């Protein structure tokens, strides 16, 4: 069974204090690993898709990396507007497997 574990559950940072969020996964053949951002009262907003170990993608202050067992979302010099819940999801490669989401990491960036 595909599984995703995200840590920490919650993270509080000062503005400008860089950090990383972790997503550990087990999947029978990885088709893709997805990162989403979810603001309170809204649906998840797509950030990145990673397909193979060693791949990296960047968007503004965010950088996602992937290994064979985990993914990291690095946040460089965060701002208060980066406060949100960050969700990680995996999709296996066997057949038409669904996305399996982790519980998310709630990030708070304090000015």
Partner 1 sequence: EAGVAQSPRYKIIEKRQSVAFWCNPISGHATLYWYQQILGQGPKLLIQFQNNGVVDDSQLPKDRFSAERLKGVDSTLKIQPAKLEDSAVYLCASSLWAGETQYFGPGTRLLVL
Three-state DSSP at 98 gives: coil
CB of 105 to partner 1, least distance (A): 11
| Stretch of 14-22, 35-43, 50-58, 76-84 lying at the interface with partner 1 (CB under 8 A) | 35-43
Q: How far apart are CA 105 and CA 87, in angstroms?
A: 7
CB of 96 to partner 1, least distance (A): 6
| Stretch of 13-21, 42-50, 64-72, 76-84 lying at the interface with partner 1 (CB under 8 A) | 42-50
Token match 């860089």: residue? 18
Position 71 contacts partner 1 (CB under 8 A): no
Position 101 contacts partner 1 (CB under 8 A): yes
Position 98 contacts partner 1 (CB under 8 A): yes
CB of 80 to partner 1, least distance (A): 22
Cα angle 103, 66, 104; round to 5: 10
DSSP string of 8-72?
Answer: -SEEEEETT--EEEEEEEE-SSEEEEEEEEE-TTS--EEEEEE-STT-EEEETTEEEEE-SSEEE
| Stretch of 39-47, 51-59, 62-70, 73-81 lying at the interface with partner 1 (CB under 8 A) | 39-47
């Amino acid at each position: 069974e595909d599984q995703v574990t995200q840590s920490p559950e919650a993270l509080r940072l000062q503005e400008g204090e860089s950090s990383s969020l972790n997503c550990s996964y087990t999947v029978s053949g990885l088709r893709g690993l997805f990162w989403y951002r979810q603001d309170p009262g809204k649906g998840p907003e797509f950030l990145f898709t990673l397909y193979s170990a060693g791949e990296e993608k960047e968007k503004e202050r965010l950088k996602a990396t992937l290994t064979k067992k985990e993914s990291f979302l690095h946040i460089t010099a965060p701002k208060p507007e980066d406060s949100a819940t960050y969700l990680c999801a995996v999709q296996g490669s066997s057949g038409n497997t669904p996305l399996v989401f982790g519980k998310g990491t709630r990030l708070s960036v304090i000015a």
